[in-house]
């Protein structure tokens, strides 16, 4: 039970930081970074959040239900810009795959040297 409170604490702390910085970076991202750093520097132990994190990961599909409902409710808007959305999605996917491939090759070459 304490794990849920720890995760919520970091989420709300990240949301506060996001608000204070003008919402440039989403609060959930700030919260995840703070939680990661807390785990790396042993401020909290992974055992404290393991059960809560496992629960959320096992039930992750439930968090996508509101997204699906929102997509269905916005069907007319999405259909209006479907070509642009498709091009942006395909372009960003190709870009991510290319960047990850280049980074993986550089890391692999350093590993063999």
Confidence of residue 39 (pLDDT cuts 50, 70, 90): very high
93 and 106: one domain?
A: yes
78 and 101: one domain?
A: yes
52 and 81: one domain?
A: no
53 and 66: one domain?
A: no
Whether the CB-CB separation of 59 and 14 falls below 8 Å is answered with no
Confidence (pLDDT) at 33: 96
**Residue 73 to residue 9: CA distance in whole angstroms:** 32
Whether the CB-CB separation of 53 and 3 falls below 8 Å is answered with yes
What confidence tens digit (pLDDT) does each residue in 71-89 have?
899 999 999 999 999 999 9
Q: What is the DSSP letter of 81?
A: T
Confidence of residue 104 (pLDDT cuts 50, 70, 90): very high
Confidence of residue 19 (pLDDT cuts 50, 70, 90): very high
Give the chain's domain count.
2
Query: Residue 8: which domain range?
Result: 1-58
**pTM of the predicted model as reported, rounded to 2 decimal places:** 0.64
Confidence (pLDDT) at 110: 83
Q: What residues have CB less than 8 Å from 113, skipping those under 6 apart?
A: none
Report the alpha-carbon angle 71-76-82, nearest 5.
80
Percent of the chain with pLDDT over 70: 99
What are φ and ψ of residue 32, in 5° steps? -65, -40
């Amino acid at each position: 039970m304490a794990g849920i409170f720890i995760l919520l604490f970091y989420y709300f702390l990240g949301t506060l930081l996001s608000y204070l910085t003008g919402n440039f970076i989403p609060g959930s991202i700030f919260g995840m970074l703070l939680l990661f750093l807390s785990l790396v520097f042993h401020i909290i132990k992974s055992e404290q959040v393991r059960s809560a994190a496992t629960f959320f990961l096992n039930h992750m599909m439930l968090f996508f239900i509101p997204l699906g409902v929102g997509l269905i409710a916005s069907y007319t808007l999405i259909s209006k810009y479907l070509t642009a959305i498709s091009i942006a999605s395909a372009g960003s996917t190709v870009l991510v795959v290319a960047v990850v491939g280049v980074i993986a090759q550089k890391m692999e070459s350093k590993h063999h040297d």
